[in-house]
């Protein structure tokens, strides 16, 4: 089988009634922020909270009775794992899932909840793949690859059918790239329906494997990224020629840009996006001039993010936007001084979250003390006003961490 618009249309029939037809909705605020006419495809509304429901079902549905009786095995950082486990359970097929040791806790638990046997091994998806292939051979299991499989790619391509049915005149579709199954399927379907549509891929800077592959560079990928779902060292062989022929550009985004996109989805669209799912928005916000004036579709591919990680993203965002700051002060070690400091801060309208008063562990004179105060603030200008008020009262003050919102502090 090779992936064509016909096989993608067939896949659409397979998933009908079993996979959510997610909305593709216009975002007025994201459009204002970017200067583009922005539509978001909310694949985080799938039952397992990612687009992987599509390809997993198409692949599993293609298996014969003998293959189903043997059981299936998959390797995944989490989204493919949950999709395979869910549809296997629904169809009464035993499932084994091999995941990297650093996989999101929520993804591991959800996969186990769907009745799969979960094995954690290796640092990356590629490491998990080695173990999964060995187990498939040893136990005679059917391997369900997350992206290097034509049935899976055809299933992912159904997403583009829906986007162009809802918004037929899209100029650009921005798609995250991990192994390439999603962008491969979308590119085939979208370009068959609307040949002039531009497909743009996005990778995390730490895992630029498809970008490097197409540029003829040595593939160097690795590290700890918030976009664990697209942290792939080796792109799918079936996807590489499709991306080369049908995808016009691959954009690399930084960790801070990914974090900002996750936070933006949360604040603007009131929806949870995982790092990889937020990559298209990160691309749009990082390169607004590239898409200004055009009708842009963003594939929000998934929303499975660990709550602890999400809380850290939110806190980082508050600091980056100047809505939270830690100030360091040198103060006289005398009664009433701390009360003066807090009174000055209160008069500026800031909220004190945390106070740390340090006497002993300091290089200051015994007559002085270090004071670290964490504040909720409005923005960088508000922080500057707080610092000015403290300095006018005779205190030495400086931010205790880098803050992009501060200018001339």
Kindly write down the DSSP assignment for every residue of 225-246, as one continuous string. -S-GGG--SS--TTHHHHHHHH
> What is the pTM (predicted TM-score) of this model?
0.90
pLDDT of residue 219: 84
Nearest to 50 by CA among 316, 273, 202: 273
Q: What is the pLDDT of residue 285?
A: 98
3-state class (DSSP) for residue 386: helix
Find all residues with CB under 8 Å of 75, minimum gap 6, and list them.
Answer: 97, 98, 99, 125, 128, 129, 131, 132, 146
With cut-offs at 50, 70 and 90, classify the pLDDT of residue 409. low
- Is the four-CA dihedral 259, 261, 262, 266 of positive or negative sign? positive
pLDDT digits (tens, 9 = 90+) for 104-143: 787 788 899 999 999 999 887 778 889 999 999 999 999 9
DSSP 43-86: GGGSTTSBTHHHHHHHHHHT--HHHHHH-EEEE-SSHHHHHHHH
d(CA 360, CA 63): 69
**Could you tell me the domains of the chain?**
5-47+154-307 (3.40.50.1100), 52-143 (3.40.50.1100), 322-399 (3.30.70.260)
Order the strands of the 24-26 sheet from edge to edge. Answer: 24-26, 37-42, 295-300, 172-176, 198-204, 249-253
382: number of Cβ within 10 Å: 19
| Buried/exposed 38-48: b ≥16 CB within 10 Å, e otherwise | bbbbbbbebeb
Q: The dihedral of CA 283, 285, 287, 292: what is its sign?
A: positive
**195-225 pLDDT, tens per residue?**
999 999 999 999 999 999 999 998 888 888 9
Q: What is the mean pLDDT of the chain?
A: 93
Mean pLDDT of 244-262: 97
């Amino acid at each position: 089988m090779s992936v064509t618009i016909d096989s993608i249309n067939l896949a659409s029939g397979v998933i009908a009634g079993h996979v959510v037809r997610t909305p593709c909705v216009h975002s007025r605020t994201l459009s204002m922020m970017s200067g583009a006419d922005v539509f978001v495809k909310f694949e985080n509304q799938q039952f397992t909270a990612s687009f992987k429901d599509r390809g997993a079902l198409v692949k599993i549905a293609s298996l014969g009775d003998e293959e189903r009786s043997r059981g299936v095995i998959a390797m995944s950082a989490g989204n493919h794992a949950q999709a395979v486990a869910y549809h296997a359970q629904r169809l009464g097929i035993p499932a084994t899932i091999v995941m990297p040791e650093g996989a999101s806790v929520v993804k591991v638990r959800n996969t186990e909840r769907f009745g799969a046997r979960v094995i954690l091994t290796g640092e990356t998806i590629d490491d998990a793949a080695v173990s999964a292939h060995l187990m498939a051979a040893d136990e005679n299991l059917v391997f369900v690859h997350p992206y290097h499989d034509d049935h899976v790619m055809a299933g992912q391509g159904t997403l583009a059918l829906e986007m162009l049915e809802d918004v037929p005149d899209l100029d650009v579709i921005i798609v995250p790239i991990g192994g390439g199954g999603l962008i491969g399927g979308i590119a085939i379907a979208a370009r068959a329906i609307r040949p002039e549509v531009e497909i743009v891929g996005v990778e995390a800077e730490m895992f630029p494997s498809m970008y490097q592959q197409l540029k003829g560079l040595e593939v160097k990928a690795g590290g700890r990224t918030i976009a664990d779902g697209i942290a792939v060292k080796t792109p799918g062989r079936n996807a590489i020629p499709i991306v080369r022929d049908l995808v016009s550009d691959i954009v690399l985004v930084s960790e801070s840009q990914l974090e900002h996109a996750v936070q933006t989805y949360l604040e603007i669209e009131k929806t949870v996006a995982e790092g990889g799912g937020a990559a298209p928005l990160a691309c749009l916000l990082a390169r607004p001039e590239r898409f200004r004036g055009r009708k842009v579709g963003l594939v929000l591919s998934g929303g499975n993010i660990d709550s602890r990680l999400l809380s850290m993203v939110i806190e980082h965002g508050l600091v980056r936007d100047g809505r939270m700051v830690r100030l360091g002060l040198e103060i006289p070690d005398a009664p009433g001084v701390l009360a003066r400091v807090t009174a000055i801060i209160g008069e500026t309208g800031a909220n004190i979250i945390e106070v740390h008063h340090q006497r002993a562990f300091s290089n200051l004179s015994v007559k002085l003390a270090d004071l670290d105060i964490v504040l909720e603030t409005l923005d960088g200008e508000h922080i500057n006003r707080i610092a000015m008020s403290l300095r006018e009262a005779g205190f030495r003050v400086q931010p205790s961490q880098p803050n992009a919102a501060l200018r001339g502090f």
